[in-house]
Amino acid sequence: MAIPVYCMPGMAASSRIFEHLEWPEGYQVHLLEWDEPRPKEGLLDYAARIAQQITAHNPILIGVSLGGVLMQEVARLLPSYRCVVLISSVASPQELPSWMRRCKKLKLHHILPLARMIRFDFWKHTKRYKKLYIHYIGLSSPTYLAWCARELLDWEGQPLDKDKIIHIHGDKDLVFPIRYIGDCIRVKGGTHIMIVNRFRWFREHFLPIINSKISPTEESTHTPI
């Protein structure tokens, strides 16, 4: 039976960011997309909606950036999952950069336009990557972007079982600097958008990393929250 894989892109990105990953037979890949948050909907409620889309048993969950935060919360709601793969993301609120944690402590993210400050989309302003931005852009309404920034800083999630986490992070990530990141697989020269501009590294190393972590019969079970 094929191993189910669910992929969630980062803030304002579409699932096209996963287009360069190559999956052999034996994997069934499902690409997820961001949807406009509902009024007064928090991250945990949003995760519950995404979890309803995950109908396969014992999947691999992959999330990039904010998508990685979301997939950790989705994992808590599932009866079983093989592992959660974080790419250019954070495994706990403690891995957020210090300025984000200060904003959170002072609750500045509820009064300031932090979506502009966090700038997950900073690369759209660089000539080199502007075409990539146009190709990979997803949902990007002002309401959605503000929601993402607020929910990221409000996130109180506890770390998942370390044995079920694969964390891949670039040492040149400007959004989530490597100095704040705990145990991870470091990608030399990798930036926050390395899933796109370092896809050759992922083609070479990604599947071996996953296969070394799981087996087709491996299963993590817990009581859903």
**DSSP H/E element including 197:** helix 194-197
Is 84:69 a contact under the CB 8 Å cutoff?
no
Specify whether domain 3-213 bears CATH 3.40.50.1820.
yes
Residue 144 three-state SS = helix
Domain ranges of the chain: 3-213
pLDDT of 128-169, one tens digit each?
666 777 788 899 898 999 899 899 999 999 889 999 999 999
**In angstroms, how far is CA 77 from the centroid of its own chain?**
16
Distance CA 163, CA 203 (A): 23
Q: Are 9 and 18 in contact (CB under 8 A)?
A: yes
Coil, strand or helix: which one is 10? coil
pLDDT beneath 70, residues of the chain: 109-130, 215-225
- Main-chain phi, psi angles of 199, to 5 degrees: -65, -25
pLDDT digits (tens, 9 = 90+) for 43-62: 999 999 999 999 999 999 99
